[in-house]
């Protein structure tokens, strides 16, 4: 199974990258399924039904979220009803949406899990204990291909989590920090790993937002409203190939500029 995973899509610029690049990448990379992180899709914060539908229409099969999952109260009913979008599984039980999705990919099934780290981020339960129970549940259902979007801030927590799930999931892909790391590899027991897949949006800003307000906060400590930038749009992600038993064969970085 060839899985294209697209990193955090930021605002209208990120959505345009997806619309214009995903169909071409999907065919050039022979991807069977496309999973994308949409936690910043709606003007940089959260996702709405409209922006999610735009991403599904552009060829995304499953959307993941992160710490900004609940920034749009108007989307809560949609998160409850749309089975192809997942928020962190270690958020409180009974909160909107679900923590994993299982989709058909040809003859196979792929489970997409979203988990949030707890170093500099908040979650209701440890992602380590949570992934154990989800893996057991999915194995009981006979699902062999599992992809984890591990949404976390600290590289140490991400690296540790990768080792923790090695051999038990097909891929453990880091999101949230918005800068693609160069440490992609298949770990010894067969899990494709990268600390961060990078973001999809304007590279001419500060992790997706216009650089002037970001700089103003750093330089003057005054409040300046963040908004997504349109400058220098790129799509970042990875392509993971798995074998029939669910173990990873390869992982490669994807970095594609949008011709403007
Ligand atoms: Fe993000
Ligand atoms: Fe995030």
Domain that holds residue 11: 2-257
In the predicted model, is pLDDT for residue 260 greater than 80?
no
Question: Residue ranges for the binding site for Fe cation?
Answer: 8, 39-40, 67, 151, 176, 178
**Size (the chain), residues:** 260
pLDDT-based confidence at 201, cuts 50/70/90? very high
Ligand whose nearest atom lies closest to the CA of 209:
1
Gap from CA of 117 to ligand 2 centroid (Å): 10
| Centroid of ligand 2 to alpha carbon of 67 (angstroms) | 5
Arithmetic mean of pLDDT, 22-48: 97
Q: Give the per-residue pLDDT at 233.
A: 98
Read off the pLDDT of residues 223-235 as tens digits, 9 standing for 90 and up: 999 999 999 999 9
35 DSSP β-pair partners: 5, 62
Cα separations in angstroms, 229 against 9, 202, 223, 234, 250: 12, 5, 18, 12, 33
The per-residue pLDDT for 221 is 94
**Residue 12 pLDDT exceeds 80:** yes
- Find out whether 77 and 60 touch, Cβ atoms under 8 Å: no
pLDDT tens figures, 110-152: 999 999 999 999 999 999 999 999 999 999 999 999 999 999 9
Q: How far apart, in whole angstroms, are the C-alpha atoms of residue 162 and residue 99?
A: 18
Which H or E element spans position 111? strand 108-116
Q: Based on the structure, what is the number of domains in the chain? A: 1
Confidence of residue 173 (pLDDT cuts 50, 70, 90): very high
Q: In terms of pTM, does the model score above 0.85?
A: yes
pLDDT average, residue stretch 158-175: 98
**236 assigned to active site:** no
Q: How far is CA 204 from CA 13, 18, 46, 66, 233, in A?
A: 11, 17, 21, 23, 8
Q: What is the CATH number of the domain that holds 123?
A: 3.60.21.10
Ligand number nearest to the C-alpha of 37: 1
Q: How many angstroms does the Cα of residue 107 sit away from the middle of ligand 1?
A: 32
Within 8 A by CB and 6+ apart from 181, the residues are 155, 174, 194, 195, 196, 198
């Amino acid at each position: 199974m060839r899985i294209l995973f697209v990193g955090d899509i930021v605002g209208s610029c990120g959505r345009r990258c997806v619309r214009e690049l995903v169909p071409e990448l999907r065919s050039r990379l022979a991807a069977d399924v496309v999973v994308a992180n949409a936690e910043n899709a709606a003007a940089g914060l959260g996702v709405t039904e409209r922006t999610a539908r735009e991403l599904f229409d552009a060829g995304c099969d499953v959307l993941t979220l992160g710490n900004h999952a609940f920034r749009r109260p108007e989307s809560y009913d949609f998160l409850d009803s749309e089975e192809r979008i997942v928020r962190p599984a270690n958020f409180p039980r009974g909160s909107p949406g679900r923590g994993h999705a299982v989709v058909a990919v040809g003859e196979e099934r792929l489970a997409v899990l979203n988990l949030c780290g707890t170093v500099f981020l908040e979650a209701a339960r440890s992602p380590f204990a949570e992934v154990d129970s989800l893996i057991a549940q999915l194995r009981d259902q006979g699902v062999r291909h599992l992809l984890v979007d591990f949404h976390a801030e600290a590289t140490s927590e991400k690296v540790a989590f990768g080792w923790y799930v090695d051999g038990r999931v097909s891929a453990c892909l880091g999101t949230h920090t918005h800068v693609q790391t160069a440490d992609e590899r298949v770990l010894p027991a067969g899990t494709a790993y990268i600390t961060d897949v990078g973001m999809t949006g304007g590279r001419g800003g500060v992790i997706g937002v216009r650089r002037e307000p970001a700089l103003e906060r750093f330089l003057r400590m005054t409040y300046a409203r963040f908004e997504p930038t349109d400058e220098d749009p790129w799509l970042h992600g990875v392509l993971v190939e798995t074998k029939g038993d669910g173990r990873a064969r390869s992982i490669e970085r994807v970095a594609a500029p949008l011709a403007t």
